[in-house]
Amino acid sequence: MRIILFVLITLLSLSNVHSGIKEEVSKTIVRVKSGNKFSTGFFFESGKQIIATLHSIGNPNQIEVYLPSQKSWCNVQLSRISKKSDLVLLSLKNCESDHYLKTENIAKTTIDSKVFTVGYYGSNDKYQDRDFTVGLIEGKRLKDLLEASAEQEIRSLGFPSLDTEIVYLKGQLLHGFSGSPIVDLNGKIIGVADGGLENGAAGISWCITSSALKELIYATDTFPVNSLQKVNTLFAEEIAASDAKSISNEQFTFQLIKSRTFDELNATGNYTEYPEMGMYQVLQALDQEGIVYNNFSFDIYLEATTGATIALPKGMELKQEDGLFYATTYDNQIVILIALYETYDVQQMSLEFENMLQAATGVYSWQLDSRMSFLIPYYRPDNVVINRKAFFNYQPNRYLLEALAAKDYTFFGVAMVFKEAFDFNSYEFIDDNLAAKYILAQQLTTFTN
């Protein structure tokens, strides 16, 4: 018993230490506004200079930073530019902070280390933290992480250098977090959040290593005016302030991170090339039916702490009630139910989710549609388990698409219930095009890195 108490006390003490480090880092954070772009920056080496990212500068002659501690905006000037590392140094004249990160706090990191950042998401004017795990890739340079198409875009853009040393982050950087410091649990700076490329509905993230901060002081590059327009095509587009949405049930928060057509998602997710998780087979079936799905549009929501990612047909409003997330069509003929839980027994939670569906639909004897169901769960290399199933019921006329996923101690369940939508004479959907959009949404629902 004493050993158990000692372990619990130790864990609680470590938790308090880590939260204290986050609070200290948050005191160095600023919100950066340049042109029509918002991002994050942090004070470094003094209370009068700030680190930010080059791709976040929309107008080099119009840059402001918001100091949360002083609740005021201050004008800044570009002092140094490094195209190689996609970093800039900003100088303040009339404002100063008492809190800043120092060169002596720079450190290297190791694989599977826990790190975090504090930054601003989209149009949200309140900073928030994000946790990551340092991932393993073969190589240490940016080009080691990118596909050929993304590599070509960076060559066209002119920065950052493909030879820039980076740290691969398991987790997704949200829009607006570019420029935030990536810090380990000892308070050491291991990098600067940079991007930034999509991987279908999920994403790939990295930070520029902290060694680039020392090089930035001596950088002499000029601002790449001709590349301003290209930046918007390279990095995931920012959600406009009027479109930024977040839905919370107090424990979890889903945030709208992007809106994409299926073609745009496929360009980075390669769904039509690799027979992974059933998507390839679904697309083959849609092609055989002559359904044109390329321009189907989806809103992608991310729950940042768990990586749970939802795809909804564009325009559907995500809501929550009694802890359960949901979305419906205007006529309530299609209802999407979403559950997210932390649990030590994922299997039991999966059973409880299906019991909840029975109670919610009033159907207790669903029949499996093997054409749309996995034979066995799919086990991904990153320890994510996904199972996708489909069921139908005669009376009342109901069709159910179900995605069940587990990652570590997190259960993620999504159910799409169709009312009076299935033709039992042909065993096909009455409206194939409408059904296809929701079938693809179910396939896109996943855990990001």
Mean pLDDT, residues 53-60: 89
pLDDT digits (tens, 9 = 90+) for 192-212: 998 765 554 456 688 999 999
Q: Is the pLDDT of residue 242 over 60?
A: no
Task: Grade residue 307 by pLDDT with cuts at 50, 70 and 90.
Answer: confident
In contact, 41 and 52? CB cutoff 8 Å: yes
Q: Is the pLDDT of residue 39 over 60?
A: yes
Lowest mean pLDDT among 17-26, 103-112, 354-363: 17-26
Mean pLDDT, residues 161-173: 87
**For residue 411, what pLDDT is reported?**
93
* CATH number among 2.40.10.120, 3.40.50.300, 3.90.10.10, 2.102.10.10, domain 13-219+228-234: 2.40.10.120
**For residue 338, what pLDDT is reported?**
94
Mean pLDDT, residues 18-32: 89
**For residue 119, what pLDDT is reported?**
92
Q: Is the pLDDT of residue 377 over 50?
A: yes
Pairs from 313-321 (Cβ < 8 Å, separation ≥ 24): 313/437, 313/438, 313/441, 314/259, 318/245, 318/247, 318/254, 318/256, 319/247, 320/247, 320/248, 320/249
Lowest mean pLDDT among 286-290, 342-346, 371-375: 371-375
Buried b (16+ CB within 10 A) or exposed e, 147-167: eeebeebbeebebbbbebbbb
Greatest C-alpha distance within the chain: 75
Q: Is the pLDDT of residue 440 over 70?
A: yes
Domain 246-447 classified CATH 3.40.1000.10? yes
**For residue 384, what pLDDT is reported?**
85
Task: Grade residue 10 by pLDDT with cuts at 50, 70 and 90.
Answer: very low
Q: Is the pLDDT of residue 133 over 60?
A: yes
Mean pLDDT (the chain) is 84
In contact, 192 and 173? CB cutoff 8 Å: no
Domain edges within the chain = 13-219+228-234, 246-447
